[in-house]
Each structure stands twice: as C-alpha cells, then as structure tokens.
Amino acid sequence: MAQIKILHIITRLIIGGAQENTVYTVLGLRDRGDYEVHLASGPTFGPEGSMEEEIRSSGIGIISIPYLRRNINPIYDFIAFWHIFFILKKGRYDIVHTHSSKAGFLGRLAAKLAGVKIIVHTIHGLPFHPYQPRIINYIYRLCERIVSCFTNKIIAVSMAMVDTASSAGIAPEKKFIVIHSGLDLTQFKPRHGNESLKKQFGIHENEIVIGKVARLFHLKGHKYLFRAISNLIADFPHLKILLIGDGILRHELEREADRLGIKDKVIFAGLVSRDKIPEMIAMMDIVVHCSLREGLARVIPQAMAMEKPVVGFDLDGSKEIIEDKVNGFLVKPKDVEGLTNTLKKLLENPSLIKEMGACGKKKIEPYFDKDYMLTRIETVYKELLWV
C-alpha cells in the first residue's frame, strides 16, 4: 500500500506552542510508517528563537518558502502564495495541513487551486481579537470565512477557539474538532528544583518563585504580573519572578520593572531550549499565565503535569483546564487587584500551593499527551480519506 503523502505548512519555526505541536505531529506521523510527511515554512527571524536545527537533526527536511512572513506584505504574500502552489502541484500531496494564520490562509488557498483533495487547518490562536482596529478585525474574519469554505476539517486546540470562530461565522460548528496540543509527558514529571540551577539564577533557598513562560511580546500580559508583584513585595520580600522567553519587549519590560521598584526581583532568563523547560518550571512555586489572547497556552498543562498551581486570566482556553479554586485560580482579564489578591492568598498558604498542584496533575493525562494528540489527528485524516 502506498504511503499517504502529507504536507504541513507553518509560517515560521520559532520556539513556540504552535511550532512544537506541528513538529510533534510531523515526527509522529513519520514514525508510524504509513505516511510520507513533509514540512514547509517561511524563514525564522527575531529574538524568539528557532526550532529549525532541532527539526533538521531529527531527519525532517524543511521546504523553505523565503517570502512567507508573519507580517502582511502584499508583494511577499503574492510570491509566497505562488511558491506554495507550485510546491503542491509538484508534490502531488494527498493532504495539506496548515498551521498559523498566514500559512493557513495562503496555504489553504493554494491547496484549493492546486486541486488537493483534503485540506486541514489547526487553529492555535485566531488572527482576529478584541484588541485590534475594527476594520482589521473584519478583514481577518472575512479571510478566515473564505478559506474555511474549502477546508475539510478545522482542528482547534481548545473549545473556546471553536466557540469564538463559529460565533464569528467562520464555519459551522460541525466542521471543527477539539484536539488539545500534545506534550511529551515523560519530560514533565514532578521534581524538586535543581539547586545549582537556582544558584545560577540567583534564587536563594528561602525565596518563593513565581514563574511565567511566554514570549516578551504584546498581549502576553507581563505588565499585569509586574504590577501585582509590586503590590506584594512589601509583605513578601522573598519573592522572585522568573520569566522564560525573549522578544521585542525585553528592554521595555526591564524599564518597567525598574520603574516599579522590582528590578532586583525579576529574572529575565531569556530563551531556553525545549528540553530545559521542565527543569525551569521545577524551580517555580506558582505559575502565572496572564496573556490576553491565547488558544490554550502549553505552559498551563506543562505546569499542572509538574504539580504546580496555575493562576490565569479567565479567557480563551484557560477555563477548560484551570478549575477555579481547585487546581489554580481564574482572574478577570487585566484585573491587577484580583491578580494581586489571588497571589497573596497562595503566598499566605503554602499548603494550598501543594494541594492545588496535586489536583492539577489529574487533569492532564492522557488528554495532553503527544501520542494521544497524534492518534486523534490520524483519525481525522483517515475519516476524510475514507469519505
């Protein structure tokens, strides 16, 4: 029996949740033997890091699309579209599976024109959101509606994404399926923080560490965490904030920490390789996720698998895994006072930190395991092939 030929397309291969999801899928399908799997991507620029070398070392070649960029550029986008089209015509793929907004639009459009029979798209996060100008929001919705018309199945990483997309008229709800983004759960096991690593980052034995894993980028909510910590530092002088990730707001956030008087409390760890993330989370006592826009952030199940309580803003997919007052807390978005009071409650009750952490682990297996994710994606492919 001939192998099923699949092309995954993503805009860029920075260190991020959508990219890790895509790589796990590509590698997993290849290892199952029934598929010939290829991966296409635009170039990776910026301070967020790159997964390209890691992917190539695993034996997966990357088909380069030089003009596929995250930012809108009519000339680049036109060239990228035709580049994708000719890749698809030459490759004769059975399935095209797109990821991220730009690759999702251009890739699905090119796949339709190239006559690809099965087109799948994964929503890791929607391109339209309440924090953008109304005309931009409308254009993004319109683009999503157009390409969804000839998309056979849309995978969403959370039910919140399905609700938002279907309410916006992107596609009927029956076209969606929720498949949580998978993790290598063998790596995310409860453990004590590495003492030498703590020393490396200037974390002392009696200090409590509040951690956040996210790019230093707009809408990731670092400023709300900083303001909450500035409210707490007088009562809890042994606090440290450990930030994992880099981005364009690094210098701005450093200045903000200085302005708020918490500069000596904030550790900017910068980019950390994926295999080091578990030991970084192990050093954290509490994990905070205060982004204003996210499908379902990977750090939430990562932290819960390691028995860490999570405090998150009550939006998007967070409520699907954080049970308020059970394995963490949900706080109204942008509510600095609410975030302050919630963190204070945990800091005043060390036993509550442990109790909530233990409860969180029960929510993870097997639903966030990468092999479980892969099996469900494979089921989607087979159902579409058999129709």
DSSP of 154-178: EEESSHHHHHHHHHTTSS-GGGEEE
Q: Between the CA of residue 293 and those of 137, 148, 160, 337, 343, what are the distances in Å?
A: 14, 22, 11, 20, 21
For 272, phi and psi rounded to 5 degrees? -130, 135
The helix/strand/coil state of 12 is coil
Closest CA to 147 of 124, 167, 174, 120: 120
Kindly report, residue by residue over 219-267, the tens digit of the pLDDT: 899 999 999 999 999 999 999 999 999 989 999 999 999 999 999 999 9
Closest CA to 225 of 205, 246, 242: 242
Burial 67-92 (b: 16+ CB within 10 A, else e): bbbbeeeeebbeebbebbbebbeebe
Kindly report, residue by residue over 134-159, the tens digit of the pLDDT: 999 999 999 999 999 999 999 999 99
d(CA 150, CA 252): 42
d(CA 51, CA 41): 11
The pLDDT value recorded for residue 76 is 97
Match 């049970």 to its residue by tokens: 323
pTM of the model: 0.90
Name the β-bridge partners of 62.
39
Mean pLDDT by 10 residues, the chain (387 residues): 91 90 94 93 85 88 94 96 98 97 97 98 92 93 97 96 95 96 93 90 93 92 96 95 94 97 96 90 96 88 95 91 94 96 96 92 88 96 90
Name the β-bridge partners of 118.
95
User: For the chain, what is the total number of helices (H) and then of strands (E)?
Assistant: 14, 13
User: What's the DSSP call for residue 385?
Assistant: H
Continuous segment of H or E residues that includes residue 180: none
The pLDDT value recorded for residue 387 is 65
The pLDDT value recorded for residue 136 is 94
Helical residues (DSSP H) of 247-328, grouped into ranges:
250-259, 277-282, 299-305
Structure token pair of residue 359: 């409860």
For 349, phi and psi rounded to 5 degrees? -130, 80
Match 């192990």 to its residue by tokens: 282
